[in-house]
Amino acid sequence: MDKFKRMPKHIGVIPDGNRRWAVGQGLPKKDGYNHGIDPGLDLYEACLKLGVEEMTFYGFTMDNVKRPSLQTKAFQKACVDSVNELKKRDADLMVIGNTDSKVFPKELLPYAMKRTRFGEGKMKVNFLVNYGWNWDLNYALNSEKTIESGNLINHIASKDISRMDMVLRWGGRRRLSGFLPIQSIYSDIYVIDEFWPDYKDQHLFGALEWYQKTDVTLGG
């Protein structure tokens, strides 16, 4: 893997296309989510090997839970199952999302808004669960320090998630869909047309090959 001389420290992941994949397989839409767990673990393992220091997975949003109840239950379960699998690995885990709602899975409450180290805690892994971009930003208004400092960035709900160097989106859509608006400000965005359940390590390698050729200006 020596060819990846320039590595992103933090990779964001938008695992889109689960429902479209299920439809293509002749399955009910809700069945797609369960097929999105193993790809996440494969991607985590591949990134860990390559030395990625932090990953953030876009689990589900406060908008997503307006979907049919069977789908909502399916992606809630997929998030819980994914976290349970990560607990068996070396992840320094943090779940970020609005816990002040029934749709936030109670199994994930112990990991919300703080880091928990599993195994050797080799990589920071952030999981967005019942996340909302406006919830994230408006969270800063709860802190007196926001007003005192005149700077809300340090007080948003996701303040402990660092800037993302690269965002990978599966499923072909070329947009961020509310994924961490502050941390994605300078991110390079790479879109993979295949649906998330069809994840292959080659997708990651393709993204990294492309990343070698971009430069980082941070808006300068």
Element (H, E) at 103: none
Q: Does 95 bind a copy of itself (CB under 8 A)?
A: no
Separation between Cα atoms, residue 186 and residue 113, nearest integer Å: 24
Distances 148 to 44, 138, 139 between C-alpha atoms, Å: 39, 16, 15
56 near 180, Cβ under 8 Å? yes
Which of 188, 194, 198, 201 binds a copy of itself (CB under 8 A)? It is 188
Q: Does 138 bind a copy of itself (CB under 8 A)?
A: yes
Q: Does 218 bind a copy of itself (CB under 8 A)?
A: yes
Instruction: Tell me the closest approach of the beta carbon of residue 79 to a copy of itself, in angstroms.
Output: 17
Going residue by residue from 35 to 74, which x/- string records binding to a copy of itself, judged by CB under 8 A? --------------------------x-xx-xx-------
Cβ neighbours of residue 30 closer than 8 Å, sequence gap 6 or more:
19, 22, 68, 70, 71, 73, 74
Among the listed ranges 28-36, 88-96, 116-124, 176-184, the one in contact with a copy of itself (CB under 8 A) is 176-184
Separation between Cα atoms, residue 188 and residue 30, nearest integer Å: 30
Residue type, 69: S
Q: Does 174 bind a copy of itself (CB under 8 A)?
A: yes
Provide the CA 53 distance to its chain's centre, in angstroms: 14
Q: Which of residues 80 and 182 has its CB atom nearest to a copy of itself in the complex?
A: 182
Closest to 123 in 3D by CA, of 167, 89, 73: 89
Instruction: Tell me the closest approach of the beta carbon of residue 136 to a copy of itself, in angstroms.
Output: 11
Q: Which of residues 2 and 144 has its CB atom nearest to a copy of itself in the complex?
A: 144
Separation between Cα atoms, residue 202 and residue 209, nearest integer Å: 10
Which of 173, 202, 209, 212 binds a copy of itself (CB under 8 A)? It is 173
- Give, as one character, the DSSP assignment of residue 187: -
Applying CB under 8 A, the residues found at the interface with a copy of itself are 61, 63-64, 66-67, 133-134, 137-138, 140-141, 146-147, 150-153, 173-178, 181-182, 184-190, 214, 217-220
